Structure 1
């Protein structure tokens, strides 16, 4: 029986369901962290592994699932992702101790990795080049919605339904998403190539150990035995991975993609953009706390960033379809850099509006950068490599997130110690240290603007990439 063909916009709605689940779940779980320490009678360090495990597994497996998507079909992997995410969420709600919670978050991350690696591939495969930016913009808008409503939803669920509800609420959404994707997303046969297990394992080991080193090295001590082992494991695994990929007939990652200028510089730009973005989202709540804002007001202030992205991302996508990524992404990165430098001008007397205006400007810059950049990267990849291209882009995004938090927090804490040692007042030391971290993130954005500018301009007019 032949499958009915649905409108590409209907197909996009099925992708949006999967795209919004991860951001909501992630932000809801972050809100619940203090609750977990009380419920399971444990400490913050142990509870942090609830998020860290998820991030490590998601980041390290996306390339594997991207390759499997090219081989087995994007729809099939996407549905497996929805199913895995939903089942693991149901089991998470039954957790009896913190260790069960951490282990099941790893399984939930497997489902999230499938969803994240397939979403852009499905969109790129069904939308023509002159509409791809708009579609990716709407998908980006759904992610912004998830990030915006997650904290509020998490607070309400924790207050009225208890911590288990933050997990079992995923189950009906996942089931609906699975059924809807089964009905409307078209099948694609994939490519008849063999899977590369050694490349997959070595890449997983490389990225997992690298992210572990970056995120935990400051806690362990950069020269500690644990940190050195993680770094050496990462370097050795990368060498093995490159060696394996150059020998096998069907490698997990097609290195010829890196010869495509727009693909390479677009991914470098993504890495830099998310390094800057996560420096902002990680450090700003500490600034707000220092300035004396209540938790409720801090939540409102932080929401200004994703809400502006929600409005601007679709408009940015429409512009991307007409003008391409080179100019738009460069302008977006420069606006983001400007927002960082303006954040560095804040004082102890800065108003709520002054901070929100800067975060809103940052949201505008990110929205103008991300949608055209994503569209250009995906448009530059061959049709039979959309899964790997989508996964590589998502991997750069996640690595940038981890690096942003690590670099931002390292600069802030180290500079804070310096100024405290110089006998600065606690207020002055804090403000100068956080301003230097913002300036560093602004420099990341300036470099991002440069890498966006030197890419080939991918024309997205009249169906041309």
Structure 2
């Protein structure tokens, strides 16, 4: 494929990869405004984000397979169109329930683009350029996360909350027509059938599991509602496995996980994002407790994704030349070291103390992500690139949810413990318990990234014979 055509295709994918993270991080800034405008409590308003996250995470795997069946271009275009229309609906929302439903629809569109973006890249670029192209995709995601809060804050202040959604319309329309023009039709699986039952069971399993993880503390871990969620989740998972083993055209061919590179790469992705979101969730609370203003907190937190933005394309190029195993393992180790050093922060730490640690974490994360993604996608057969992409995206999102839940739950437990065992010193006791619990949570995240490194190290060399066996002729 000609150089210009490859990079025209990459540009189309990057527009889609930018839109979701940009919108998601921008919307988070407006949460208090939603509460005030719609006269709704924060529990209700939290569903503006929760509905998006649950629907997105629940559909990624399904969309990955659907892309293999109907074609990546068709699914990507459908996703961009749906995301754009849903953004318009979000912007005209007359009440909070309408906004939540529109956000769920937005997630359904974002999921289509997210699930097949890596698959489009890996089927467009040759193996020796794949890492660099995936690195640029990581840059688009990091850029969206970095500038989203600033863009959201500006639009909120200058034009009101509706502008946060309306800004997606011109970007989405331009992106749709560009993608329609440059994306290749690609190959689809001949005579392929879509495993509807498998898709439904997988969706139910992921939705109930993630809802339990994210809302279990609020519901009560042992409450009737929580137990029902666990029961439904386990039942759906068992039925999903049985169905996939029996199906002639399974949504997720479980033989993929017999490939050590694919299995360990996805596991390390899950662990890395779990550790990452423990840090991402807890650090703003620490910064506010340490006396930084909300504006300073937002600026400080961008140090992490901004570093990823600069590091990812470089590590992408390196992964095309060096062993992905060593690069991703080194990245996980650096992440672990950064999290351990985060645990050494105190109330008297300066902005510089926090920023360089976040930048070190960004360096490790950028070094881990692109080589790991390239390794996972490169280990899957050509006819299963969509499924591989969907599994990887699902692991990433599950890691995010688990990270927030583990970070919140573990911090709460340790905080309660220190409040009980430390000598009473009035307000100083609360501050001391907080910082000690925070340190423990950072150390836990550092340990999880050590597990990520070990999972990355066991992936072994790329098995081309496995790919050949899995190819559909």
Of residues 81, 100, 111, the one that matches 1:102 is 100
Q: Deviations over 1:399-434 (max 9, x none)?
A: 000000000110111111111122451111000000
Shift of 1:156: 0.4
Of residues 136, 139, 145, the one that matches 1:138 is 136
2:82 and 2:461 map into 1 onto residues whose CA distance is 38
Aligned residue pair count: 459
Q: Is residue 67 from structure 1 mapped to residue 65 from structure 2 by the alignment?
A: yes
1:214 and 1:20 map into 2 onto residues whose CA distance is 27
1:457 and 1:376 map into 2 onto residues whose CA distance is 10
Shift of 1:457: 3.2
1:325 and 1:458 in contact (8 A); partners too: no
2:463 and 2:235 map into 1 onto residues whose CA distance is 40
1:336 and 1:208 map into 2 onto residues whose CA distance is 29
1:21 and 1:41 map into 2 onto residues whose CA distance is 28
Q: Deviations over 1:351-370 (max 9, x none)?
A: 00000000000000000000
In structure 1, the residue matched to 2:234 is 235
1:5 and 1:337 map into 2 onto residues whose CA distance is 38
Q: 1:5 to 1:79 in 2, by over 3 A?
A: farther
Of residues 432, 445, 452, the one that matches 2:456 is 452
Task: Give the 3-state SS of the residue equivalent to 1:323 in structure 2.
Answer: coil
In structure 2, the residue matched to 1:431 is 435
Q: 1:121 to 1:381 in 2, by over 3 A?
A: same
Q: Deviations over 1:105-136 (max 9, x none)?
A: 11111001101101000000001110000000
2:214 and 2:405 in contact (8 A); partners too: yes
2:208 and 2:229 in contact (8 A); partners too: yes
In structure 1, the residue matched to 2:469 is none
1:70 and 1:384 in contact (8 A); partners too: yes
Shift of 1:324: 2.5
1:6 and 1:184 in contact (8 A); partners too: no
2:43 and 2:186 map into 1 onto residues whose CA distance is 44
Of residues 17, 20, 26, the one that matches 2:18 is 20
1:312 and 1:368 in contact (8 A); partners too: yes
5+ residue gaps, structure 2: 424-428, 465-473
Shift of 1:458: 3.8
In structure 2, the residue matched to 1:347 is 346
1:423 and 1:218 map into 2 onto residues whose CA distance is 25
2:461 and 2:346 map into 1 onto residues whose CA distance is 40
Task: Give the 3-state SS of the residue equivalent to 1:92 in structure 2.
Answer: helix
Q: Is residue 45 from structure 1 mapped to residue 60 from structure 2 by the alignment?
A: no
Matches within 5 A, 1:262-281: 262-281=261-280
2:462 and 2:145 map into 1 onto residues whose CA distance is 30
Q: Deviations over 1:206-225 (max 9, x none)?
A: 00000001000011110001
Shift of 1:6: 5.2
1:458 and 1:305 map into 2 onto residues whose CA distance is 31
**TM-score, with normalisation over the residues of structure 1?**
0.97
Matches within 5 A, 1:193-342: 193-342=192-341
Task: Give the 3-state SS of the residue equivalent to 1:95 in structure 2.
Answer: coil
2:18 and 2:97 map into 1 onto residues whose CA distance is 27
In structure 2, the residue matched to 1:420 is 419
1:346 and 1:395 map into 2 onto residues whose CA distance is 32
1:374 and 1:352 map into 2 onto residues whose CA distance is 32
5+ residue gaps, structure 1: 461-465
Shift of 1:189: 3.0
Q: Is residue 188 from structure 1 mapped to residue 192 from structure 2 by the alignment?
A: no
Q: Deviations over 1:324-352 (max 9, x none)?
A: 31100000000000001000111111000
In structure 1, the residue matched to 2:170 is 172
Q: 1:83 to 1:426 in 2, by over 3 A?
A: same
In structure 1, the residue matched to 2:467 is none
